[in-house]
Amino acid sequence: MKYKYLYFLSIIFVYHKRVIFKACASASLFPLKPKPSKFHNKNMSETPGQNLSQKPDKLDITDIKTGLLSQEASLRIQQFGLNELEQVKPESVWSILLRQVNSIIVWILAAAAIVSFFLGDNLEGFAVIAVIVINAVTGFVLEYNARQSMEALRKLDTTPARVLRDGKIKEIPSDQVTIGDILILEAGDLIPADALILEVNQLTVDESALTGESVPSQKSTTASDEDAPLGDRHDRLFKGTAITNGNAKAMVTGIGQTTELGKIATLVSDAKRTATPLETKLDALGKVLIWVTLGMATLFLIVGFTRGQEIKQLIETAVALAIAAIPEGMSVVATVALAYGMLRLAEKKVIVKRLSAVETLGGTNVIFTDKTGTLTENKIEVQALRVAGNDFTVRLNANTEGVQTLEVVKGDQQLFHSPEVEMLSLVGALVNNAQLDSKKSDRKELGDPVEVALLSYARAAGIDLHKLHRDHKRQAEQPFSSDTRMMATMDQVGTEYFIGVKGAVEEVLALCSWKNPEERDKELEISELMAADGLRTLAFAYRQTSQKPGDDFTHDEKLTYAGLIGFLDPPRKEVVKSLIACQQAGIKVIMVTGDHPATSLKIAKQVNLVEADEQLVLTGKNLESFDFNSAPDQKKMMECRVFARVNPAQKLDMIDFYQKHGDIVGMTGDGVNDAPALKKSDIGIAMGLRGTAVAAEAADMVLKDDSFASIVHAIEQGRVIFENIRKFIVFLLSCNMSEIFVVTFAGFLNVGSPLLPLQILFINIITDVFPALALGVGKDNKKLMKSPPRDPKQPILKKSDWSGIVFYALVMTASVLGVYWYAIDELRMSPQEGNTITFYALSLAQLLHVFNMYSGKRRLFKNEITGNKFIWMALVLCILIMFAINYIPFLRQILSLEMLDLRSLELILAAGFAPVLVIQTVRLFFPIK
């Protein structure tokens, strides 16, 4: 698909009544695929009334005082389209259904069914088709709910927008906002389009969904650098972000797919899901089975031709071999095992949208995790204080009722209760416009998150906020501005006046009185160290006076310096333990965020993601110059555990880098900016509480409790499921291979046909599947989390597994064929009686073979198999079915079986129990996994 660019829209800057144009465009208007933002200068005509249907560079000018005319807005909507994200066509029902039958195993079964119909064996043909249909329907129903990945993005477009049209403020649907519209924005608004700020008053915007920064971004009209990262474009507003404080006027520069949100939507739609490791390995296993089937059938046909056997009999036997070679129940058992794992994870608040994702997470050896909301609380809190030369590190703890208390993590506990610390808390609570409900339950927080953090800290420190504001009557306020970089308030307390100031450290320090310049420089140095440590730092000052100050009350007299406060989005408490579990399990955890490098490294150290002396942090700018084919750059990529200021496209590149190195990559996240990476990764894990609907739709899993610990539970469950899948595949293949050997060896020995195709199919569906199902839902194995993840390059079955399969099959074959030969040659039974004995003997041998599936050197009577109640339930069910076949004439007739007598029953029991005794004896000397 080619890139197609329209012309660029100029930006308005107003001087009094005159409109002056400046060069500016954040990106091409409608690229079909995202490109890095670029700014261009272009002079434009000021002729009013210009028709928008003409060339884009002849667009009318927007008057900031009147906004667009309604007619002009309609013309622009026709030209540029609606302000909505492009709909991505969801995966069709037929596509989901086709995927269920598009496998090698299904093709072999379908070929066997066609041959059966051709030979007139309609019953066998219909039975094989029934197996195919059951598998397809089961997989289809369980995957149907995961076919949409973009619908959640469109939900962000449903909010109304206030614009200036025809000189009046109007509320319109957000999809009617167009290029050049003047947006009227206030606290609480969701920004409907990308825009350039024209006027601003104390504006802060929560951009965490796009950038990953938990601290709201301060906005101004000062032009940002052309190549500034998204989080540093302070004169820009972005679609889908929310205003937390202040108000503004802004002119729309990008709508729909041309917005930053739209670019991410394009990345989500372009990011292709790859086949999961389990799907790939099962497909590879199917190819192996094809060659086994073709080899055995070809060899059997060649031997039959040389002996002059009947063609029809040879073909029927070849069909029997095909049916015997394919474990028809493997797809059903794998689906049920994964579904059972889904139920277990649902109990731990993990919702799995794609079945194979459960197993994939178990094989994950690299996890990319977002910082904000994943490793941290996504809530600003006071963490560090400095007063009168004393430094403190504090932590806010909340009990089950939500009541917060202060804990001094670092610093003198006695000095913490000094008047200086109390004054700092007081200033922070007074120079504040946020609201914090005093009720302990259902607490409401309104206002700038930093100011909310100051109120929360003050209340935890023992200040009665309600009494404080009742006693302190606000008389005046100097709001924060980009020029002063401070906020100041004047309150009356009885006959006294209290002036409080908070703001940028340099500005506040300049207003304070100092004994000497060294004291001021020392505080400035400390603030820089706090900022380098990842903290957002504010300085506080105050003055108390009995004389009513003038209008410029911050400059009447010098202020008293109160101290510094550092803010940080605190790490989640359970993260440290979870990361330790990941390290023990051999999983590499990497932080990838759009936040500031220093803040990111600070959090990484706090949660023990990196060592305390670690300094390596790579940023998005670093990655732009990286050569991923260069050995030094590759080494640095593999060594780095913290990536900051990374944009969504770079996250995709990083995931692709690790995937090409053979790793199974998991990605956790909660923001819109995480959605493309969640979809691209082998296993996408979205946070359900704080996460956006976009992230949840793009992910394979959703954590309802937002707990990183749930990821560890999911990894453990994934490993258990893979181990269960491996066990039941070994069980199924050893059983099926025994059927192949029985049919093939009997043909080579020219002793008749001990098993018919329909009998083999029945054994595969009934006596194989139920024990395999029980193996698939086996108990947890805690030892799996103490070992590294399996090599993703290894097939689902190792060489040792294949050796065990062949050994098991040969033992069961020898036992069954020995009994068959004894019944025909020694006891002179009829071929039909011998066939009946072989059918029941092989069925019993396979049922009891499940007890050979335990791991390691555990005892036969005390292991994970005998402790699995589902195993016993499966055995009882299958034995009852075998009794029903023997005593119900209709079923005996369909399967061409004879009624059993006591002599036949003795032979069946001997053939069924002999393999278990032989295999257990061998395991005493040669342990088998």
CA 164 to CA 444: how far, in whole Å? 32
Are 261 and 156 spatial neighbours (Cβ–Cβ below 8 Å)?
yes
Q: Would you call 860 helix, strand, or coil by DSSP?
A: coil
Are 458 and 436 spatial neighbours (Cβ–Cβ below 8 Å)?
no
CA 612 to CA 460: how far, in whole Å? 29
How many helices (H) does the chain have, and how many strands (E)? 32, 27
Residues in the chain: 929
Strand partners, 566: 384, 537
CA 904 to CA 819: how far, in whole Å? 10
Q: How many CA atoms lie within 13 A of 290 on its CB side?
A: 13
Can you spell out the DSSP letters for 521-575?
Answer: HHHHHHHHHHHHTT-EEEEEEEEEESSPP-SSTTTSSPBEEEEEEEEE-PBPTTH
Are 496 and 546 spatial neighbours (Cβ–Cβ below 8 Å)?
yes
Active site amino acids: 370
Going by DSSP bridges, is the β-strand pair 642-644/588-592 parallel, antiparallel, or unpaired?
parallel
Residues with Cβ within 8 Å of 142's Cβ and at least 6 positions away in sequence, in order, are 335, 339, 355
Phi-psi region at 57: left, alpha or beta (left = phi > 0; alpha = psi -120 to 50): alpha
Tell me how crowded residue 611 is: count the other CB atoms within 10 A of its CB.
10
CA 383 to CA 325: how far, in whole Å? 65
Are 701 and 361 spatial neighbours (Cβ–Cβ below 8 Å)?
yes
Going by DSSP bridges, is the β-strand pair 683-687/642-644 parallel, antiparallel, or unpaired?
unpaired
- Residue 172's nearest CA partner among 87, 255, 54 is 255
Tokens representing 87 are: 């709909």
Tokens representing 890 are: 């209709």
Q: What angle do CA 756, 760, 765 make, to 5 degrees?
A: 150
Strand partners, 538: 565
Q: Would you call 618 helix, strand, or coil by DSSP?
A: strand
Residue 87 DSSP one-character state: P
What is the separation of C-alpha 920 from the centre of its chain, rounded to a whole number of angstroms?
A: 44
Are 401 and 377 spatial neighbours (Cβ–Cβ below 8 Å)?
no
Are 46 and 70 spatial neighbours (Cβ–Cβ below 8 Å)?
no
Tokens representing 89 are: 């066509």
Residue 402 DSSP one-character state: -
Tell me how crowded residue 39 is: count the other CB atoms within 10 A of its CB.
16
Residues with Cβ within 8 Å of 244's Cβ and at least 6 positions away in sequence, in order, are 187, 204, 205, 206, 216, 447, 448, 449
Are 474 and 490 spatial neighbours (Cβ–Cβ below 8 Å)?
yes
Are 353 and 699 spatial neighbours (Cβ–Cβ below 8 Å)?
yes
- Residue 24's nearest CA partner among 233, 278, 165 is 233
Tokens representing 879 are: 């034995």
CA 756 to CA 747: how far, in whole Å? 12
CA 599 to CA 210: how far, in whole Å? 17
CA 782 to CA 631: how far, in whole Å? 38
Are 657 and 637 spatial neighbours (Cβ–Cβ below 8 Å)?
yes
